[in-house]
Amino acid sequence: MTEINIMIIDDEEKMVKILSMILQEEGFKITGYIDPKAALAVLKDKFYPIIITDLKMPGIDGIQVLDFVKKVSPKSEVIIMTAHADTMAAVSAMKKGAYDYIIKPFEMDELKIMIGRITERNRLQEENLSFRERFETRVMIGTSFIM
């Protein structure tokens, strides 16, 4: 299994550290940011299959992060964290392409399940693409009746 890069963006340093520690123990490579602008600058040049971002942050909020990610890295999946059970914001995030949202405080198992679903879906997509590529190279073309 290849190491999976996850970016965490939250203006609360403690949250970034806790999530980083727990997810690193699960075998993920974590890059954490408390400054969303710095995170977005990195996303221009590096692919992260999973981005976990807080919704309410000063300067740039989670919806703006989501919009940016969908422009520069459409294959990345974004999970929105919020301390506010704001259903309108959650619906807006989902309509804009967020994978899911999670309300703080949350059980780590809930987040791990979301990450597991994303990684499994990505693995299956890669496997499917590999199968298609192998199949397409083995297609024989002929003009005889038997072919």
Give pLDDT tens digits for 129-145: 766 776 666 555 556 55
The pLDDT tens digits for 2-32 are 689 999 999 999 999 999 999 999 999 999 9
| Domains and their CATH numbers in the chain | 5-137 (3.40.50.2300)
pTM (predicted TM-score)? 0.85
Q: Give me the DSSP letters along 31-51.
A: EEES-HHHHHHHHTTS--SEE
The pLDDT tens digits for 47-81 are 999 999 999 999 999 999 999 999 999 999 999 99
Integer Cα distance of 127 and 145 in angstroms: 34
